[in-house]
Chain A
Amino acid sequence: MRRHLRLPLTIAALATASLGLAACGGDDSGSSSSSSSSSSGGGGGAALAPGAYDPAQKPAAGKKGGIGTMLSASDVDYMDPGQSYYQFGFLVAETTQRRLYYFEPNDATKVIPDLADGQPQVSSDGMTVTVKLKPNVKFSPPVDRAFEAKDVKYAIERLFTKNSPGGYTNYFDFIEGAPSELQAKKKDISGITTPDKNTIVFKLTKPYSAQFIQSFVLPYTAPVPEEYASKFDAKNPSTYQDNLVGTGPYMVKNNAAGKVDGIGWKKTKSITLVRNPNWDQSTDFRPAYADGWNIKTDVTDANVAARQVLDGSHMLLDTNPPANILEQLATKIKDQYTQTPSGGFRYFAMNTNIKPFDDVNVRRAVVAGFNRDAARKARGGKFVGPIPTHYLTEGFPGYEEAGGEKGFGVDFMNYPKGNAELSASYFKKAGYKSGKYEGKQQLLMIGANADPGKAAAQVAADEYKKMGFNVRLRLVPQDAVYNEWCGQQTKKVAICGTAGWFKDFNDASTLLQVPFYGGAIPTEKGQVSYNLSYLKDPAVDAAVEKALPTTGAERLKAWAAVDKAIVEAAPAVPFVADKTTDVRSKDVQGVPSSFNSLWDLNFTSLK
């Protein structure tokens, strides 16, 4: 459930970009990112110009009214929109916090203005971004006034304090005057100016505007009223989230003073979302059909919860159901779930710094001979998602350009159950005449010590052993897999047995750059590398550098080229491209968020 990574902006790049990255421009497939299965969604029709918003693109209209229930195994990480970093936190923030821009509910390749009025203006040097704001969008009670540019400025500034540190400030810490260290008290950021109430201007120290404006879809751009929030932000940690206000169609139920803690937000128990009385439908593209949502955050048993949702009325499940239910869904109960690509993949990374994985033919031999289906079974089998033939996942911008389901036709990626002959041929190319690896040295493999990661790692270890590798599998806590082992060069981990990578938002850079770009390997000692293969492939690096500044349709092709370069470098064995399976009661018209892959409560309606 852990949510992806930041995007380390280690490279300079990026020319001016129009918003939205043109995902579907000229896309002839019409394949929306949502749902290979039945239900909801629909839409999927004509391709639209990037950034445009067309009501016809909306999911089928739902019925207004009613209170829905969502069952969740855990609470939000933070209610604070600037601090929340997990999918479930995002799910709630989607309902309470409008931000500058947002995605189409069923097509995350399309970005549309939310609080912004029209597209952002980027200066020709790419160093200044101006956003016009909608007037008359009011904060929820007890603030009750229309939000202004200064509220967005404050929302960003407060994330550089110790009391309310932002979850992903690296997306915007290159704004001019942004503190390089967390501050004890909020500091004015000179690079954010508000010429008038409805205009906000960002001056950047680096020309990162293309990615910067894409990050506007994240909830950190949700306005925070300083005169109300400052007294809460003065506490350490900030208690703003206990007294949250927002501009979304819903708000966490609060008392007259604005307190939500213990009222609408019973921590680890429940979240009550009620209609924000100050929300004006005419300013928002969100239909927000239901009158409110009760989210239970104390559900203990996933099996029972899934059954309750399936048999119940007006209910939703927060995330994937357990494997056995998943199977029933696919085979028996066909109309109560929606599968959305999660925008990521799981893989076994081979450390290219360690012999014999420094030899690309050994790596290719491994990929060719690997029974990836067995590894996927350990994580739940085919219902979890397809076995990828390349790294861009279904529904992601660039996926079609990268060959869609078939991929690039690279032979060693074509055998989900492994092909021993092909594998042998690559081993021979690498100089192992037996068609298997012949070295005797012990290779350290690290895996998580809890299922399903553990099970998959064990399967993988066996696969390596079958190919002649002397593998020692060491199981460590999930947290430590990256931070203390695979991500630490000095630990000399040969195979990372529990690795997964997920987008931050729908740009191929967030999916491919960090895990495979040579420039993403940190140089400082002790810093965690998320390029777990330590891949420094000239072809890959050149392709990435070429792709970063591109825009529009060219960008999709450029990232597809990156994808191809990575596939050929064979740095890892990707064994499943996860889909999120969202489950609902019969009388719910469910719409998943293509961006967050969980249900989107703003678009989901009750029958």
Chain B
Amino acid sequence: MARYIIRRLLWTVVTLVVITAVAYFLFRVLPSGDPVRARAGKAPTQERLDAIRESLGLDNPWYQQLGDFLWNAAHFDFGRSYISDAELRPLLLDALGATTWLVVGAVIVWLSAAAVVGTISALRRGSLPDRVAMGGALVAISAPVYWLGLVALYLFASDIGQFKVFPGAGSYASADGVLDRAWAMVLPWFVLAAAFSAVYARLLRSSLLESMQEDYIRTARAKGLSERRVIFRHASRSAITPLVTALGVDVGLLIGGNAILTESVFNIPGLGRLSYDAIQRGDVATIQATVLFLAFFVCISALVVDLLYALIDPRVKYE
């Protein structure tokens, strides 16, 4: 197992290098914003352009630039933003903190919601609660996060809401301390979790229904086990496998930057926001760093998922 993990981590490194190189070429070679021009104002003189180009190290050959980037990234140094000249490491770590805080909270919310709703729906299949829950889930899935965020803010935000209950957009950035931050995240958590709750509830429902059809469930019942034990010990353990898969991918992507819409509506300075801004401004330095982060988290969560499989399913063995 340890050998397997080490091998996987080595592969992760290879993947990261490849992805970084691809990102580098995509943003550098294909036409996009020239970071030098973005910094130089409109209609700058050639001199000014050259000076900026040199100061950013962009006059070096591409392999040297890429090499420098990788070498520095290996030392956890991502250089400076081409646009704001801010050092990227603290920027990324701050953003990572905010995003992690957002995603982890949302995951807890959506898993709890999905567990309750999905289980009830599966066990009371076809009943009124099931239909209401699944109909609601469809609505939640189809509701754009952005729209949902706005609705949540207009309803519940303490500054612009009808019912001034929860802290509104931008409150995370100014929050101090864990409790304050958690309080500031309440709306974002629920908004981000809404669609995921629905997806996971449906996933859990169908997965539970499927595993309730398994022969071993019949065996468990034939043994005279209580229905509760049959469901929560026998059916749910196999039913969560697809959820773990989905969760691994989703968490990786969300932490790596896919929480952008929620971050945007609630003005949370997270990784998604950082990369979106960077792309908009042609800030290749920041783009590269965030792409690297995204890839890293996707790889790591894939690894974690695989390890979790082994934990859940004794048939899975890694050599």
CB within 8 Å of B: which residues of A? 2-6, 71, 74-75, 77, 85-86, 162, 165-170, 181-182, 236-237, 267-270, 296, 298-301, 303-305, 307-308, 310-312, 476-480, 483-484, 528, 530
Number of A-B contacts (CB under 8 A): 117
Our pick among A77, A162, A299, A476 for the contact of B55 (Cβ within 8 Å) is A162
Asked if A169 and B159 make an inter-chain contact with CB atoms under 8 angstroms apart, the answer reads no
Cα distance, A85 to B265, chains bound together (Å): 29
Our pick among A162, A267, A303, A308 for the contact of B170 (Cβ within 8 Å) is A308
Asked if B41 and A269 make an inter-chain contact with CB atoms under 8 angstroms apart, the answer reads no
Judge if B160 is at the interface, Cβ distance under 8 Å. Answer: yes
Judge if B269 is at the interface, Cβ distance under 8 Å. Answer: yes
Cα distance, A3 to B42, chains bound together (Å): 7
Our pick among A162, A267, A305 for the contact of B51 (Cβ within 8 Å) is A162
Cα distance, A476 to B31, chains bound together (Å): 9
Judge if B38 is at the interface, Cβ distance under 8 Å. Answer: yes
| A3 partner residues in chain B, CB cutoff 8 A | 41-42
| A181 partner residues in chain B, CB cutoff 8 A | 47
Our pick among B40, B43, B51 for the contact of A528 (Cβ within 8 Å) is B43
Q: A158 → chain B, closest Cβ, in Å?
A: 13
| A85 partner residues in chain B, CB cutoff 8 A | 41-42
| B97 partner residues in chain A, CB cutoff 8 A | none
Q: Which of B64-108 contact A (CB under 8 A)?
A: 81, 84-86, 91
Our pick among A86, A268, A477 for the contact of B91 (Cβ within 8 Å) is A268
Judge if B125 is at the interface, Cβ distance under 8 Å. Answer: no
| A480 partner residues in chain B, CB cutoff 8 A | 31
Our pick among B38, B52, B54, B265 for the contact of A304 (Cβ within 8 Å) is B265
**A–B Cβ pairs within 8 angstroms, 30 of them:** A6-B43, A71-B170, A74-B277, A77-B41, A85-B41, A85-B42, A162-B51, A166-B48, A168-B41, A169-B45, A169-B48, A182-B48, A237-B55, A267-B84, A267-B85, A268-B84, A269-B173, A298-B170, A298-B267, A298-B273, A300-B265, A300-B273, A301-B149, A304-B160, A305-B169, A308-B170, A477-B32, A479-B38, A479-B282, A484-B31
Q: B35 → chain A, closest Cβ, in Å?
A: 10
Asked if A4 and B32 make an inter-chain contact with CB atoms under 8 angstroms apart, the answer reads no
| A296 partner residues in chain B, CB cutoff 8 A | 170, 173
The tally of residues in B whose CB lies under 8 Å from a CB in A reads: 45
| B266 partner residues in chain A, CB cutoff 8 A | 300-301, 304
Contact (A5, B43) CB under 8 Å given A162-B54, A301-B264 = yes
| A4 partner residues in chain B, CB cutoff 8 A | 42
Contact (A300, B42) CB under 8 Å given A162-B54, A182-B48, A479-B37 = no
| A298 partner residues in chain B, CB cutoff 8 A | 170, 173, 267, 269, 273
| B173 partner residues in chain A, CB cutoff 8 A | 269-270, 296, 298
Classify the interface of chain A: helix, strand, loop or mixed.
loop
Q: Which partner residue on chain A sits nearest B265 by CB separation? A: A301
Cα distance, A165 to B41, chains bound together (Å): 11
Q: A91 → chain B, closest Cβ, in Å?
A: 16
Cα distance, A79 to B292, chains bound together (Å): 30
Q: Which partner residue on chain B sits nearest A262 by CB separation? A: B90
| A182 partner residues in chain B, CB cutoff 8 A | 47-48, 50-51
Asked if A170 and B45 make an inter-chain contact with CB atoms under 8 angstroms apart, the answer reads yes
Cα distance, A531 to B186, chains bound together (Å): 53
Judge if B150 is at the interface, Cβ distance under 8 Å. Answer: yes
Our pick among B39, B55, B86 for the contact of A267 (Cβ within 8 Å) is B86
Our pick among A5, A310, A483 for the contact of B37 (Cβ within 8 Å) is A483
| A269 partner residues in chain B, CB cutoff 8 A | 173, 269
Q: Which of B210-266 contact A (CB under 8 A)?
A: 263-266
Q: A236 → chain B, closest Cβ, in Å?
A: 5
Asked if A167 and B41 make an inter-chain contact with CB atoms under 8 angstroms apart, the answer reads yes
Asked if B263 and A300 make an inter-chain contact with CB atoms under 8 angstroms apart, the answer reads yes
CB within 8 Å of A: which residues of B? 31-34, 37-45, 47-48, 50-52, 54-55, 81, 84-86, 91, 149-150, 153-154, 159-160, 168-170, 173, 263-269, 273, 277, 282
| B169 partner residues in chain A, CB cutoff 8 A | 300-301, 304-305, 308
Asked if A311 and B91 make an inter-chain contact with CB atoms under 8 angstroms apart, the answer reads no
| B34 partner residues in chain A, CB cutoff 8 A | 479, 483
Cα distance, A3 to B32, chains bound together (Å): 20
Asked if B51 and A477 make an inter-chain contact with CB atoms under 8 angstroms apart, the answer reads no
Asked if A301 and B267 make an inter-chain contact with CB atoms under 8 angstroms apart, the answer reads yes
Contact (A165, B160) CB under 8 Å given A86-B41, A304-B169 = no
Interface centre among A169, A170, A299, A301 (most CB of B within 10 A): A301
Q: B234 → chain A, closest Cβ, in Å?
A: 46
| B273 partner residues in chain A, CB cutoff 8 A | 298, 300
Interface centre among B81, B170, B266 (most CB of A within 10 A): B170
Cα distance, A165 to B52, chains bound together (Å): 9
| A479 partner residues in chain B, CB cutoff 8 A | 33-34, 37-38, 282
Q: A48 → chain B, closest Cβ, in Å?
A: 33
Cα distance, A89 to B40, chains bound together (Å): 13
| A304 partner residues in chain B, CB cutoff 8 A | 150, 153, 160, 168-169, 265-267
Contact (A312, B48) CB under 8 Å given A162-B55, A237-B85, A477-B32 = no
Q: A180 → chain B, closest Cβ, in Å?
A: 9
Cα distance, A125 to B40, chains bound together (Å): 34
Q: Which partner residue on chain A sits nearest B273 by CB separation? A: A300
Asked if A308 and B168 make an inter-chain contact with CB atoms under 8 angstroms apart, the answer reads yes
Asked if A477 and B86 make an inter-chain contact with CB atoms under 8 angstroms apart, the answer reads no
Contact (A311, B42) CB under 8 Å given A75-B84, A165-B52, A237-B85 = no
Q: Which partner residue on chain B sits nearest A167 by CB separation? A: B41
Q: A297 → chain B, closest Cβ, in Å?
A: 9
Contact (A2, B42) CB under 8 Å given A181-B47, A296-B173, A477-B31 = yes
Q: Which partner residue on chain B sits nearest A483 by CB separation? A: B37
| A311 partner residues in chain B, CB cutoff 8 A | 159-160
Our pick among B40, B48, B159, B277 for the contact of A308 (Cβ within 8 Å) is B159
Q: B271 → chain A, closest Cβ, in Å?
A: 13
